[in-house]
Amino acid sequence: MIQKAELSVTLFALDKSEGLSTHAASGDALVIPLEGTNHIEIGKKPFDIKQGDCIILPANIAHSLKATSRFKMFLTVVK
C-alpha cells in the first residue's frame, strides 16, 4: 500500500496455516489484526492475536507468524 525508504504499510491476507517463516526486520513493525486469529513468536516468546489487538515486532529480533484462522492484518514497518 505504501512503500517508502523509511516506512512501509502492507495489507496481508492469509488462509489458515499460512504464515511468514522466522526472520528479522531492520525496522520496528506494528501488526494490526483486522480479521481472524494469528500465532506470533517474537524471540521464542509466543503470542496469540486477534482483531482489536496490536503488537510490536522489535527491529532485529527474530519473529514468525502463522494464521490460526483466515487472517488479515496491516503491517507497518518504520525503518
Domains, the chain, ordered by start: 2-78 (2.60.120.10)
Q: How confident is the model at residue 68 (pLDDT cuts 50, 70, 90)?
A: very high
Q: How confident is the model at residue 17 (pLDDT cuts 50, 70, 90)?
A: very high
pLDDT at 1 over 90: no
pLDDT at 18 over 90: yes
For residues 68 and 36, give the distance between their C-alpha atoms in angstroms, rounded to a whole number.
8
